[in-house]
Chains A and B, each alone.
Chain A
Amino acid sequence: MTAVKAAAPARARTRDKAVRARGAGAVAAFATPLAVIAVLCLAAPLLPVPDPSVQVLSDALKPPAWLDGGDWSHPLGTDHLGRDVFARILYGGMLTFLIAIAGMLAGAIPGTLLGLISGFYRGRADTVISRFVEAQLALPFILLAIAIIAGSGRSLPGLVLVLALFGWAQYARVVRAETLSLRERPFVLGLRCAGVPTPRILLAHMLPNVAGTVLVLTTLQIGTVILAESALSFLGLGVVSPQISWGAMLADGRAHLTTAWWVAAFPGLAITVCVLLVNLLGDALRSWLDPKKRRY
C-alpha cells in the first residue's frame, strides 16, 4: 500500500470545464430559437399582422402564399372564415404558452413541496403522499379531464387546474427520490444535529439542491402540458372560440382537411416544433447540469 499523496488532478478540473462549456452551448442552441418564438407569440398584439379574429368570408380558405391562388398578404393562407392563419398562429401561441406555463407552475409548486416533504419526513407522511401520487398516475388523464370539465363547464381556470393535476405527481415522484438520497448526505445530517428547524432545512438547503432536477423536469413538462392542452382543445374541452390556441385551430382545421390542409397543418407543425425544442432543451439542460446522467 503505497502512501503516495492522493492526486487532486488539476487536469480533471479543466476537462470538466470543457465539457460544461460544450453543455452550455447546447443549452443556448435550443433555448434561443425557443425564446424567439415565445417572445414573438407573447408580443403578438404588437406585431404588424392582421387581426386574427376579423372574418372576411370572401377571403375564406385561401392557400399559402407559395401556392396557386395565394398571396403574401396571407403568407400561410386563411381559414374557413377568412381569418389569417399566420396571425392566428402567433396569437394562438401566446395563449398556448401562457396556459402551458401557468399549468406547469400550478403543478410544479405543490408537486415539489409534496416531494420534499415525502422524501424528507418519510414514514407515514411519505406513505400517504406516495399512495396519492400513484393514484394520480393511475387515473387516465384525458378521461379525468373530461370528467372534471364536463362536470364543471369549460373555463380557463378549470383548464389550468386540470393541467396542474396532470403534472404534480411527476414532480412529487422525482423530487421525493432526490430528497431521499440527499437526506443521507453528511451536510444534511449535520444540519439536523444542529437543531435547524426542518422547514428551513427543506427550503434553504434541500430545495436549491433539487433545483437542477426540477428545472429539467419543468422544461420537459412544458412540452407535455402543451400537448395535453392541445389535445383537450382539439376535443372541444379546452380553449374554444373566440379564444385562439393551437389545439383549437386544429379542431377547426379538421373539418376542412381535404380542401384546405394548411389550416390544420401549420398549427400542428408549430406544436411539434415547439415541443421538440423544449425536449431538446430539457435534454441539454440535463446533460449540462450532470454529465453522468446524459439522456435519462
Chain B
Amino acid sequence: MTAEQAPALRISGLTIEAATGRGRQVLVQDVELTLARGEILGLIGESGSGKTTTVRSVLGLLDRNVSVTAGEVSVLGMRVQAPGVDESAKVRGRHVGMVFQGASASLDPLMTVGSQLREVARTHLPALSARERDERIAAVIAKMGLPDTARVLSSYPHQLSGGMRQRIAIALAVVAEPEVLITDECTSALDVTTQAEVVDLLRGLTERSDMGMVFVTHDLMLAGDICTRIAVMYAGQIVEIGPAREVIGQPRHPYTRALLAAIPRWDGGEIRAIDGTAPRITAEWTGCRFAPRCPRAEAVCRTGDAPWIELPGGGVRCHFASGEQEGLDVAVPAGSAGQ
C-alpha cells in the first residue's frame, strides 16, 4: 500500500500493558481504529478507559514501564509501533501532531512563542529558507485567529491568555502540516465560550485540508458536534464504533446508552448515574468488562468475553447487540456532523 492509498492512521489489534508493582495491568486491549484522510474520529471514554494511552502510543509517549505487547500502529502505511518496535520518532510533528490538555502543558515557559514555533519549523522544514519558514509561521498564526502576529510571537507563554495558549499549542502541532492531528482533551480546561471557538477552529483546519483528526474527549455531546465517526472505549477496549449520528442517536452498547442517559438535560429529564467504578484489568479477567455495572448483564456476560459484532459502518462489543434497542429518548444534537 503506497502512502497515498494508506489511511492516515491505522491501529490494529493494539494491546498495551503496564508492569506495575502489583503485576501486569492491561491498559489497552485489541484496539482497532482506522482514520481516513480528512475525517474526524471521536474517541470517547472516562479517565482510565485507555484512550489517552492509545493515542500516546502513536507518538511513543508511553511511560517507561508501559509497552506495546501486541498489534501494530501505522501512519500513512509506515509502521510506527509494534511489540519491541518504536519508530514513532519518524512521524512526530511531521506526520502526526498532538495537542494536549491544559494550556500551559505544551509551552516552554522560558522561551517566546516565536522561538518555539521557529524551533519546530526548523526541525521539520529544513528545506525552506528562514524567511519562508517565518512566512509559514505567520500564516499559521493567522489561521488560528490570533491578531497582532508580531506581538504574539514575541510574547512569553505567561503573557497570553489560556485560550490563546491553546491556539498556540495547536499552531505548534500543525505548522509542519501533518496528515494526522490528535487532540487529547484539549478543550477540557477551557470555559465553554473559548471551548466553542477552539472546536470551530479545529473543524476549520480539517475542512480546508486533507488532515485527519482524532478527537479524544470524555464529552460525548461535544464529540457529536464535530466528529464524523465516534469510537467509545471502556476499560481498555473499544465497545462501540460507528457514524457519529448513529452512535449518539441509536447507541447499541449499554455503556454508551448509560453515558447518554447521564448527560444533564435542559428539559429537566432524569439523570441516571452509572453505579460502580471502572475495573483494573489484569490477564486473569474473564467475561465482559462492563458486566459488573451493566443493567442488562446475564450469566453469559460474566463467563464469556463479549464478542465484537460487525455492523454496517462500525461495530459493537456486546452479547446482545443484534437484539432490540431500548427506546432511549435522546435527541440527536442539531449540528451533529453526520456524513
Residue ranges of A at the interface with B (Cβ–Cβ < 8 Å):
1-5, 7, 9, 11, 15, 18
Contacts and interface: CB of A to CB of B under 8 A. Distances in A.
Contacts of B30: none
Interface in B265-304: 271-278, 280
A11 B263 CA distance: 28
A1 B44 CA distance: 11
A45 to B, nearest CB: 49
Interface residues of B, number: 20
Contacts of A11: 22, 280
B160 interface: no
Interface of B: 21-22, 46, 218-220, 258-259, 262-264, 271-278, 280
A15 B274 contact: no
A7 B48 CA distance: 11
Given A11-B280, A15-B21, A15-B22, A4 B264 contact: no
Secondary structure class of chain A's binding surface, majority of residues:
loop
B211 to A, nearest CB: 28
B255 to A, nearest CB: 10
Contacts, number: 37
The interface centre, meaning the residue of A2, A5, A11 with most chain B CB atoms within 10 A of its CB, is A2
Given A2-B46, A2-B263, A4-B273, 20 more contacts: A1-B218, A1-B262, A1-B263, A2-B218, A2-B220, A2-B258, A2-B259, A2-B262, A3-B272, A4-B46, A4-B262, A4-B274, A5-B273, A5-B274, A5-B275, A5-B277, A7-B277, A7-B278, A11-B22, A15-B22
A14 to B, nearest CB: 8
B277 A4 contact: yes
A138 to B, nearest CB: 29
A1 B277 contact: no
The interface centre, meaning the residue of B219, B271, B272, B277 with most chain A CB atoms within 10 A of its CB, is B277
A238 to B, nearest CB: 46
Nearest to A19: B21
B185 to A, nearest CB: 12
A1 B259 CA distance: 8
A37 B276 CA distance: 54
Given A15-B22, A18-B21, A3 B273 contact: yes
Nearest to B221: A1
A1 B264 contact: yes
A3 B21 contact: no
A3 B262 contact: yes
Give 4 closest A-B pairs by Cβ, nearest first: A3-B273, A7-B277, A3-B262, A4-B274
Nearest to B264: A1
